[in-house]
Amino acid sequence: MATPADAAPAPRPAATPSRRIPGWVGLVVIAIVLVVVIGICTHGGGSSSSHLNLTADSRGLHPTRVGETGAEEITVTNNDTDITDLVIFYANKDNWLDHHVATDLGGCTLDKGINAFRCGPLKAGESRTITITGTAKDSGNYSYGWGLGDSAPSGLRQWDQEFTWSEAVS
């Protein structure tokens, strides 16, 4: 009869291999992550930013009767990188161009496709005053708004503010 001492020893589980990653692999992974993070951070600033850093002010002489001429004076200072094409667009209100005949665009050109005025480049640190003049053609109470943007080849960048005003024409 076999005794417990004569029994074959119980099998031992095989040793599991170490799951340690060599130090150089960890450094490579960290380097790749840093390159990606730095790339994202630097791509989000400067000329590829989707928002413009501007200082702007507006004042207007608004017509009160059909046939009277009024003007909107817009002063813009570019606190950002160079602007390829400064755009003044009418936003979220009545369309000024629907109720006025533009008589002087202050050096800008009219882009009817986007109901905006294209005013050309504005270099970093530069200021410009643009006076847009028009004659009221319709009576009514209107609420206007305008914003600024850069129609750059890399895509539209916009200013985060909007100016609004009201006009009552009889």
Query: Domain of 163: which CATH number?
Result: 2.60.40.740
* Radius of gyration of the chain measured on its C-alpha atoms: 33
Distances (CA, A) of 85 to 35, 53, 54, 121, 151: 32, 15, 14, 5, 5
Report the predicted TM-score, pTM, of the whole model to 2 decimal places. 0.67
8 A C-beta contact, residue 116 and residue 88: yes
pLDDT of residue 46: 38
Residue 86 has pLDDT above 90, yes or no: yes
Q: pLDDT category, 34, cuts 50, 70, 90? A: very low
Q: How, if at all, do strands 109-111 and 163-169 pair?
A: unpaired
Residue 127 belongs to a domain: yes
Distances (CA, A) of 44 to 38, 41, 160: 10, 5, 16
pLDDT of 125-161, one tens digit each?
Answer: 999 999 999 999 999 999 988 899 998 887 788 898 8
Residue 163 has pLDDT above 90, yes or no: no
Q: pLDDT category, 41, cuts 50, 70, 90? A: very low
Residue 41 belongs to a domain: no
Q: Name the residue with higher pLDDT: 47 or 6.
A: 6
- H helical segments located in the chain: 23-43, 96-99
Of 32-36, 39-43, 81-85, the poorest mean pLDDT is in 39-43
Residue 52 has pLDDT above 60, yes or no: yes
Residue 51 has pLDDT above 80, yes or no: yes
Residue 9 belongs to a domain: no
Residue 121 belongs to a domain: yes
Expressed as residue numbers, the domain containing 126 is 52-169
Residue 29 belongs to a domain: no
pLDDT of residue 136: 95
Q: How many domains does the chain have?
A: 1
